[in-house]
Amino acid sequence: MESNTVYFVGYAKLPSDIPAGEIFSSVALGIAVDMDSKLIVDTSITLPTPLARKVVTSCITGCNAETDLELIEKNIRKKYQGEAQKAILVALRKAHSRYTNYSITD
């Protein structure tokens, strides 16, 4: 990871009656942001299937952390039709909030 890249994480509770909720009690969504370009250079998410992780990360990685939150949310609503969708969006907003509140402290 480049020295100008910072990792922001958000968490949200998963529904307990779905397989992901039985494996994980919450979803963790992380975004690695290049602080110079504001681009999200990598994304991680705790979902049990590789395809679910791939779909969600494809909606986020490459987007601008400063300007594309609504676009990312729209893409997730369109492309991820699982019971964990609401939790994913909450975790995304929390990670994004950490990004917007971030300040470098020496």
In total, how many domains does the chain have?
A: 1
Q: Pairing between strand 5-13 and 40-45?
A: unpaired
Rounded distance, CA 105 to CA 99, Å?
14
Enclosing domain of residue 87: 5-100
Q: Is 105 domain-assigned?
A: no
Residue whose pair of structure tokens reads 């397989």 in the numeric block: 19
pLDDT mean over 79-86: 94
What is the pLDDT, as a whole number, of residue 86?
95
* Exposure class string for 55-74: b at 16+ Cβ within 10 A, else e: bbbebbbebebeebbeebbe
> Does residue 18 have a pLDDT over 70?
no
Cα 80 versus chain centre, distance: 13
The CATH number that applies at residue 18 is: 3.90.1010.10
Query: CA 29 to CA 93: how far, in whole Å?
Result: 10
Say which residue, 104 or 103, is predicted with more confidence.
103
Give the mean model confidence (pLDDT) for residues 16-41: 83
Looking at the chain, the whole-number percentage of residues with pLDDT higher than 90 is: 77
67 belongs to a structural domain = yes
Q: Is residue 69 part of a domain?
A: yes
Specify the pTM. Answer: 0.89
Tens of pLDDT, residues 40-76: 999 999 988 999 999 999 999 999 999 999 999 999 9
Distance from C-alpha of 77 to C-alpha of 55, rounded to nearest angstrom: 11
Residue 46 within a domain: yes
At 98, is the pLDDT very low, low, confident or very high (cuts 50, 70, 90)? very high
